[in-house]
Amino acid sequence: MTIEPCRICLIEDDEIMGDALLERFELEGYACDRFRTGQGARAALTERRYQLAISDIRLPDISGKSLFEQMLLEGPPLPPFIFITGHGAIDDAVRLLKLGADDYLTKPFEIGVLLNKIRSRCHRTDSVAIVDTAPLGISSAMREIGSMLARVAKTSSSVFVTGESGTGKELVARSLHRFRDPDGSRPFIAVNCGALPDSLLEAELFGYEKGAFTGAVRSKKGFFEQAHGGTLFLDEIGDMPLAMQVKLLRAVQDRTVMRIGGEQEIPVDIKLVCATHQDLKKMVEQGEFREDLYYRIHVIHIPVPPLRERREDILWLAEHFLDEFSSTVHPRRNLHPAAVQSLVEYSWPGNVRELRHCIERACILSQAPTLTSEDLFGPAPGQENERVDDENLGNYLRITERCYIIQALTVHHWRIKETAAALGITRKNLWEKMRKLTISNPGANSRAAS
């Protein structure tokens, strides 16, 4: 079960302070909606559930004090309010405490003091695994896909996932299914169209009645019927023969199927997700794929980028696989800094699948607690690997530092204090490095709203 991060409503019109607080909250793992006006925050506080509100008293439209008083009179349940005030408005802050506000801070204040107040009120679970909050990856591309899936899940439109082999197209389909079925009560049926013989494909997809052909000793539901109420994932749909595409088109268009040997059409309610590593548009031009079926399944297109184009995900995935294999291969392995660099520099033509196999093989064969480049790639690592574009020394060191910090953050589940201690630097130093190297916490789904 995914545990949502504590969500904060930040009401601050000062651009410098607002941006600084928003960024710091995100680095600490909180979700934050930032508003620059009282009226904008008022609407959000009415419509959305927050665990905490932090508001400046002086705002451009109405004061924080007026906002709080009006919302108390209107009656919607309010989260705990912490007010930020200048020396000249302390009287207002005291009056707000008497009305029911939770606390206040006087400018200038130490960010650590505010963070302690937030922790005591949010009761957030710092140990939530990063895989729960960012199941597809931490790169901006994969986080955008995750955001898109949340919106797509609310529709009945067909989804078309493309990408090279091994990029995680089925993972995207399963993630979409989880958005539609958080309690796991609906079926998810995955079918590799290229793995089924042409002679069996129709029977497997649409089912058959008893006696429909030799060997049909009982009736059987096809994959469409099995997926009723849930999700049907048709992988490698480009491998489907043209004759079968005609029958698939009818099923997709009418949302009904007829079993082989049957006489009645059976309605099916499914979320259809199709995937391929091929260029279907080119196949349509060459007459190898039906154009009408192409446009029927190509309603919402989700391209999954190869791993070499989202290198931020490499270490995140590697740590996830190390956790996975630690359950069967003990103790849990760690990565040597040189191995980290080797992982990031390699081109991964087999994408996530190749990375998983690489980690699995190293965990099985290596006897050492720390995996080296040799454990991952053999005795001559890098000779056959595609290198990243040539970098000057400064860029190379920046990449290395960024990779190492992301690895440390991942190991410590993005807890700033623990990561800084492990790296031997202060929290402030770590925060500054994260800003400089554009490292953000994937578990904080924050947005700035005006």
What is the band of 295 on the pLDDT scale with cuts at 50, 70, 90? very high
Phi and psi at 120, nearest 5°, equal: -70, -20
The answer to whether the beta carbons of residues 102 and 121 sit under 8 Å apart is yes
Nearest-CA neighbor of 45 among 90, 92, 10, 3?
A: 10
- Split at pLDDT 50, 70, 90, the class of 126 is very low
Res 66: pLDDT: 87
DSSP symbols for 51-80: SEEEEES--SSS-HHHHHHHHHHH------
105/97 Cα distance (integer angstroms)? 12
Q: What is the pLDDT of residues 14-23, one digit of tens each?
A: 888 888 888 8
Q: Is a pLDDT exceeding 90 seen at residue 280?
A: yes
Q: Is the predicted pLDDT of residue 81 greater than 50, yes or no? A: yes
Parallel, antiparallel, or unpaired: how do β-strands 159-162 and 188-192 relate?
unpaired
Flag whether pLDDT at 124 surpasses 80.
no
Mean pLDDT score of the chain, rounded to an integer? Answer: 83
State residue 184's pLDDT score: 81
Longest dimension (CA), the chain: 90
Residue 219 has pLDDT above 70, yes or no: yes
What's 8's DSSP letter? E
pLDDT beyond 60 at 129: no
Counting other chains too, the contacts that 120-123 makes at CB distance below 8 Å and 24 or more residues apart are: 121/51, 121/52, 121/80, 121/82, 122/6, 122/8, 122/30, 122/51, 122/52, 123/6
Q: Tell me which range, 45-49, 155-159, 270-274, is most confidently predicted by mean pLDDT.
A: 270-274
381 has a pLDDT exceeding 70:
no
Q: What is the pLDDT of residue 380?
A: 53
Q: How many Å apart are CA 78 and CA 45, to the nearest integer? A: 7
Q: Is the pLDDT of residue 385 over 70?
A: no
3-state DSSP call for residue 420? helix
Query: Would you state the pLDDT for residue 390?
Result: 47
At 142 the three-state DSSP class reads helix
Q: Which of 139, 136, 129 is closest to 179 using CA atoms?
A: 136
Please report the beta strands in 1-126, taking only residues with DSSP state E, as ranges in sequence order: 7-11, 31-35, 52-56, 81-85, 103-106
pLDDT at 330: 63
Distance of CA 352 to the CA centre of its chain: 15
78 or 288, which is more confident: 288
How far apart, in Å, are the Cα atoms of 113 and each of 118, 119, 129, 130? Answer: 9, 10, 26, 26
CA–CA gap between residue 255 and residue 233 (Å, rounded): 15
**C-alpha separations of 184 from 129, 227, 229 in Å:** 20, 13, 12
Alpha helices in 207-328 (DSSP H): 223-226, 242-254, 280-285, 291-297, 312-325
| pLDDT, tens digit, 9 for 90 and up, residues 312-352 | 889 888 988 888 887 554 678 888 888 888 898 899 999 99
Strands (E) in 91-158, as ranges, are 103-106
Q: Which of 126, 136, 120 is nearest to 52 (CA)?
A: 120
DSSP type of residue 3:
P
- Whether the CB-CB separation of 249 and 288 falls below 8 Å is answered with no
Instruction: Transcribe 357-415 into DSSP letters.
Output: HHHHHHHHH--SSEE-HHHHH-SSTTSSSPPPSP--HHHHHHHHHHHHHHHHHHHTTT-
Q: Residue 131's pLDDT band (boundaries 50, 70, 90)?
A: very low
**What was the pLDDT predicted at 337?**
80
pLDDT value at residue 387: 39
Mean pLDDT of 380-386: 43
- Prediction pTM value: 0.59
Strand partners, 189: 232
**pLDDT tens across 179-218, in order?**
888 878 899 999 999 888 888 899 999 999 998 888 888 9
pLDDT of residue 116: 81
Structure token digits, residue 400: 């290395």
Average pLDDT of span 89-108: 76
* pLDDT at res. 191: 93
**What pLDDT does 3 receive?**
44
Q: How far apart are CA 272 and CA 180, in angstroms?
A: 12
Query: Which of 79-88, 99-108, 378-387 shows the lowest per-residue confidence on average (mean pLDDT)?
Result: 378-387
**Minimum mean pLDDT range among 266-275, 296-305, 407-416:** 407-416
Q: State the first-to-last Cα distance of the chain, in angstroms, to the nearest integer.
A: 32
Domains of the chain listed by start with CATH number: 7-128 (3.40.50.2300), 132-305 (3.40.50.300), 308-412 (1.10.8.60)
Q: State percent of the chain over pLDDT 70.
A: 87
CA distances from 158 to 10, 101, 210, 234 (A): 37, 48, 31, 11
